[in-house]
Amino acid sequence: MKKFLPLLPVLAAGGALLVLSREAAAGARQALAVCAATLIPSLLPFFSLANMLSALGLPELLAGSLGKGLGRLFRVSPAGAQAFMLGLSGGYPLGASVTADLRRSGRVSRDEAERLAAFCNNSGPGFILGAAGAVFQRPAAGFLLYITHALGAVTVGLLFRGHGAPIEGETAISPAAPVPFSRALPTAVTKAVGSTLAVCGYVVLFGAIVGMLTPFLALPPLMRALLTGFLELGGGIAAFQGLTPTPLHLACAALVLGWGGLSVHCQTMGVLADTDISCARHLAGRALCGVSAAVYTYLGALLLFQ
């Protein structure tokens, strides 16, 4: 019977959808409007640019001394250090995907893989600078949120640093040869479209869920943004639309970005499903990243926006 337990919440959600179909549709329509007005215009160009830079060899250019320094800082292998860089530049759930690949190939131990999962699966600059900056209508807010998000990830990496050394024989990720510009451009745009549609799909799904919850929760805008962000990242950040970039509002946005939302955790669990990596450290790492990034953002906003 245990294998059928996951059916219960799905059946409950299906029943709620039938009973509250009007509210769910309204939430989905609102989420679609957010996708059209904010997420697609801000994410697609950034995703395309990030994919282009990756295809043209930027990660390999930065992997040398920077990768060795990060490896010593976090006490991980060179491969683990590159997983951190890729996760912080590519966005959810790339860091978890790279970590899972490293574990499957035996290039990192289970302990190192679980430590990597705690701090390498992060939001990327495309989403934070594009979506968050657009929501608060101040590019400086987007840059502050990305810097503090990265600092939060570094903080978690140091907290999970441990005392273990990488297993023998671990090497850096084999660098991929840069591709010609004529091939990099169409590939980058195609991948960016897929990534943007995936983000929008989760925004619409969890927008419908929030729509069903709305009749029972009369919440002020900030609390609604936090609730939405707890469930789904894109919709949560979009829910900050109209709020001024005060230190409190920016700190709450940093908390949402660091946590990632249940939708990101679902994606991550799917990526790690066929490995022996436990998701416990990942969940703890995301919570710690959100809290530490919120503290850094609040202090930074006091200096920049007051």
Amino acid found at 238:
A
The pLDDT value recorded for residue 60 is 61
The 10 Å Cβ neighbour count of residue 284 is 15
Alpha carbons within 13 angstroms on the beta-carbon side of residue 254 total: 33
226 assigned to some structural domain: yes
79 assigned to some structural domain: yes
- Say how far apart CA 239 and CA 237 lie, in whole Å: 5
Q: For residues 52 and 188, is the Cβ–Cβ distance under 8 A?
A: yes
173 assigned to some structural domain: no
Indicate if the pLDDT at residue 168 is higher than 60: no
Q: For residues 95 and 121, is the Cβ–Cβ distance under 8 A?
A: yes
The pLDDT value recorded for residue 163 is 56
The pLDDT value recorded for residue 180 is 80
The pLDDT value recorded for residue 176 is 55
11 assigned to some structural domain: no
Indicate if the pLDDT at residue 164 is higher than 70: no
- Say how far apart CA 238 and CA 137 lie, in whole Å: 12
- Least confidently predicted of 62-66, 121-125, 245-249: 62-66
What does the pLDDT look like over 108-161, one tens digit per residue?
889 999 999 999 999 988 889 888 888 888 888 999 999 999 999 999 999 998
Q: Which parts of 232-279 fold into alpha helices (H)? A: 233-238, 247-259, 261-272
Write out the DSSP string of 67-99: HHHHHHHHT--HHHHHHHHHHHHH-TTHHHHHH
115 assigned to some structural domain: yes
Q: Which token pair is 252?
A: 């709450």
The 10 Å Cβ neighbour count of residue 117 is 31
32 assigned to some structural domain: yes
User: Please, what sign has the CA dihedral across residues 82, 271, 289, 211?
Assistant: positive
Q: For residues 234 and 203, is the Cβ–Cβ distance under 8 A?
A: yes
Domain count, the chain: 1
Indicate if the pLDDT at residue 69 is higher than 70: yes
291 assigned to some structural domain: yes
Q: Which token pair is 209?
A: 């869920």
What does the pLDDT look like over 175-200, one tens digit per residue?
556 778 778 888 888 888 887 888 78
User: Average pLDDT for residues 80-91, to the nearest whole number?
Assistant: 81
Tell me how far CA of residue 179 lies from CA of 47, 175, 289, in angstroms. Answer: 17, 12, 34
- Say how far apart CA 151 and CA 171 lie, in whole Å: 26
The pLDDT value recorded for residue 288 is 96
pTM given for the model = 0.80
What does the pLDDT look like over 91-109, one tens digit per residue?
788 788 888 888 887 878 8
User: Average pLDDT for residues 25-49, to the nearest whole number?
Assistant: 81
Q: For residues 96 and 123, is the Cβ–Cβ distance under 8 A?
A: no
251 assigned to some structural domain: yes
What does the pLDDT look like over 200-232, one tens digit per residue?
888 888 888 888 887 766 778 899 899 889 988
What is the span of the domain harbouring residue 187?
Answer: 25-163+178-304
Indicate if the pLDDT at residue 89 is higher than 70: yes
Alpha carbons within 13 angstroms on the beta-carbon side of residue 80 total: 31
User: Average pLDDT for residues 7-15, to the nearest whole number?
Assistant: 76
Q: For residues 75 and 68, is the Cβ–Cβ distance under 8 A?
A: no
pLDDT, mean over the chain: 83
Q: In which region does residue 170 sit, left (phi positive, over 0), alpha (psi from -120 to 50) or beta (all else)?
A: beta
180 — phi, psi (to 5°)? -60, 150
